[in-house]
Amino acid sequence: MSRTGPRMPTVHAAHHLVPKTLDAWVKLLDGIALPVPAVNHGHVRAALNDSRRSLREIAEMMQESPALVLSVMREANHHTHGLTEQAESLEIAINRLGLARTEVLLGRLPAKPPEEIPAAYRQLILVSQHATQQANGLFASRLARLWQDIHMGSLLFLSPLWPMA
C-alpha cells in the first residue's frame, strides 16, 4: 500500500506473465491495440471516405503507419483457413475487407499525437520504415516481381517487438 492508497494494476504488470506457447503469445499480442499517429489516422480516414481515391492511393497512405498496415493485413488474413489465398499486398487486403470494414478497423486503433506514443515504439517504427526504404532501394529494381514480398517483409519485420516497446 502506498501513501496515496492501494496500487492499481498497470499495463506493465501484465507483462510479467510470460506466455509459454505460440498460441498464448499470439493471443497476448492480438489483445494490444498499437497506437497510430493521429495525423496518419486522420489522413487515412479522410482517404477512405473520398470516393476519388484509388485502393493504391489509400494503401500508400496507410504505409506511413506500419501498425495500421499490420492491423489491416492481419484482419484480411485472419479467417481465410486455406479457403482463399493469403492477401499478399495491402491493396488486396483492403479490397478483401472493403472500405467500410477497413474504416471500422481504423476506428478501433488508438490515434495519438506523437508525444503520447512511447519513444521505444516510435523508434522501432522508424527502424521498420527505414528498412523498407533500404530494401526498396537495394532490391526492388532487380527483383521487381518480388517487390511486394520485400516491401512487406521489411516493413513488418520488427512488428513482434512493437507491442513490447
User: SS3 sequence, 95-158?
Assistant: HHHCHHHHHHHHHHCCEECHHHCCHHHHHHHHHHHHHHHHHHHHHCCCCHHHHHHHHHHHHHCC
Reference 60, options 91, 87, 96, 86; nearest CA is: 91
Per-residue confidence (pLDDT) for residue 144, from 0 to 100: 60
Using one digit for the tens of pLDDT, what is the confidence trace for 88-117? Answer: 889 999 999 999 999 999 999 999 999 999
The secondary structure of residue 161, as a DSSP letter, is G
Using one digit for the tens of pLDDT, what is the confidence trace for 140-150? Answer: 666 666 667 77
Per-residue confidence (pLDDT) for residue 91, from 0 to 100: 92
- Global pTM reads 0.75
Per-residue confidence (pLDDT) for residue 13, from 0 to 100: 44
CB 68 within 8 A of CB 106: yes
> In the chain, which residues have pLDDT < 50?
1-14
Residue-range domains of the chain with CATH: 34-164 (1.10.3210.10)
CB 58 within 8 A of CB 75: no
